[in-house]
Amino acid sequence: MRSRYSAFCLGDIDYLQVTLHPNRRRKDDKVELENTVQRTNWLGLKIIAHQPGLEEATVEFVAFFNGQPFEQLHEFSRFKKVAGQWLYTDGDVLPAIKLSRNDSCFCNSKKKFKKCHGKDL
């Protein structure tokens, strides 16, 4: 999950395509991913929970990105191991999480949320 988030941040479309399960790949994936990468500025990732397994695993995460003042993608993702590599199969989008003013900010600034991205809320 972290490697796919990093690939989104870096715009590594090839990696995103390779780590997508073959059953989920579509002809327009590259164009769709390029559009997403170009218009999205990722701000931080928070892993909520993960359930590792030998052949299947799940990850619940929140990825924060540019917006007014920011937006979030909260997802429960599923992965399968194929030929030794973890591949994203699908995910369920969940409601946005509530952020506590005194938590560390999601952008890793080492500031409290209220003094960083939460100051304009």
pLDDT means per 10 residues, the chain with 121 residues, are: 92 95 91 92 94 95 89 96 95 94 91 89 73
- Can you tell me the distance from the alpha carbon of 19 to that of 13, in angstroms, rounded to the nearest whole number? 10
Q: Count how many domains the chain has.
A: 1
For position 43, what pLDDT does the model report?
93
Say which CATH number the domain at 47 has: 3.10.450.50
Distance of CA 61 to the CA centre of its chain: 7
For position 41, what pLDDT does the model report?
92
For position 56, what pLDDT does the model report?
96
- Can you tell me the distance from the alpha carbon of 107 to that of 46, in angstroms, rounded to the nearest whole number? 9
Distance of CA 119 to the CA centre of its chain: 23
Instruction: Give which of 54, 40, 48, 55 is closest to 92, Cα–Cα.
Output: 48
In a domain, 120, yes or no: no
For position 108, what pLDDT does the model report?
86
In a domain, 121, yes or no: no
Domain of 25 in residue numbering reads as: 2-115
Residues, the chain, total? 121
In a domain, 79, yes or no: yes
pTM score, whole prediction:
0.88
For position 24, what pLDDT does the model report?
92
